[in-house]
Amino acid sequence: MKNTMLPVIFFSIYCMAAPFTVMGQDKAKVTVTIKNLTAISTDACNQKMDFYGNITIDGKTKSFPLMEGNNIRPNWQFVTTTDKEIVTPLIQILDDDDALCGGGDDEISISGSASRIRKSLVTTESQTKDFTSQGTSSNNGNEMARISFTINIEPTKTGFLTKGNWKNVRKEYKTGSGPWEELHITTIPPTCETADNFHIFRTNGLYEINDGPVKCNPTDPQIITTYSWSFQANETQIRLTKRGSSLFENYTINQLDENIMILSSSYSSGGVTTYHRTIFKH
């Protein structure tokens, strides 16, 4: 179905701007927290583990200093952002051995026979996962421990916006402080107004309106139009810039989460302000 494009629906005023493209916008904030490390073996030197370790997320690594003890609550935490659809944090735990104990730090078995734990999570959903893993005797040596850790995913507005296809489920308008009323578009033949168009916001800064599976005319292009998009005003607005043009339009973000997006705009004429808002769902 070919429907009136989002910018036309809102009757926004065009403004001048330089061409704009955004690459690699962050989809989520990722927090990995190591809560507990409990030895299930003893260090060969002084019967106490000397734990230290690293957390790696999306190619970025944070190291944590030595803590001595067989049952510690280090609260080691690494917080970073990612533009990936799936993120796989990596945890590595080791035991420090000084020269008197033979030197050469030991890998601690915390996950089967390995000293490393990898967990893959999608970044498009808010979630907090608690994990516990216990090591077993291996070629790493006799150092073994139980680890308790948490991975928290908090999608950014980019993460919510680019999660998938958005469908326009309702258009509304009001004048001044009056009540919201549904806005019916009368310029589209009823035979092809099946509300199957969808909108795609891509992480590379491109916005597309897709004609969906049912078209008013079989020869119509599948991609109705393409814009560049960016956040404005501390991520309280979305700016759409038509590809190949310097014209842009800003829309206020009234709501944006995993399931719903509400965008609005307004214009004034003859001393009267008219407000438009569009509600999208996946």
Burial, 126: exposed, middle or buried (Cβ in 10 Å; 0-12, 13-18, 19+)? middle
Does 37 share its domain with 147? Answer: yes
Domain assignment of residue 122, given as a range: 28-155
Does 177 share its domain with 235? Answer: yes
Do the beta carbons of residue 32 and residue 150 sit within 8 Å?
yes
| CATH code of the domain containing 202 | 2.40.128
Does residue 181 form part of some domain?
Answer: yes
Tokens of 27: 């989809």
Does residue 109 form part of some domain?
Answer: yes
Measure CA 46 to chain center: 45
Residue 1's pLDDT is what? 47
Does 19 share its domain with 33? Answer: no
Does residue 1 form part of some domain?
Answer: no
Residue 42's pLDDT is what? 72
Does residue 18 form part of some domain?
Answer: yes
Does 221 share its domain with 252? Answer: yes
How many domains does the chain fold into? 2
Does 38 share its domain with 92? Answer: yes
End of a domain among 124, 155, 186? 155
| CATH code of the domain containing 113 | 2.60.40.150
Does 175 share its domain with 236? Answer: yes
Does 61 share its domain with 19? Answer: no
End of a domain among 155, 172, 206? 155
| Full pLDDT tens readout for the chain, 282 residues | 444 445 443 333 333 333 333 445 788 999 999 999 999 987 666 778 899 999 999 999 999 999 999 999 999 999 999 999 899 999 999 988 765 565 567 888 998 778 899 999 999 889 999 999 998 876 555 689 999 999 999 999 999 999 889 998 999 999 988 899 998 766 555 556 556 889 999 988 999 999 888 887 888 899 988 999 999 999 999 999 988 888 899 999 999 998 999 999 999 999 899 999 999 999
Type of residue numbered 82: T
Does 59 share its domain with 145? Answer: yes
pTM over 0.75: no
Query: Residue 237 and residue 240: Cα distance in Å, rounded?
Result: 10
Does residue 147 form part of some domain?
Answer: yes
User: Which residues lie below 8 Å from residue 179, measured CB to CB, with a gap of 6+?
Assistant: none
Does 21 share its domain with 86? Answer: no
Does 177 share its domain with 128? Answer: no
Does 191 share its domain with 228? Answer: yes
Does residue 111 form part of some domain?
Answer: yes
End of a domain among 101, 127, 155? 155
What CA–CA distances, in Å, run from 40 to 43, 121, 256? 10, 28, 46
Does 137 share its domain with 172? Answer: no
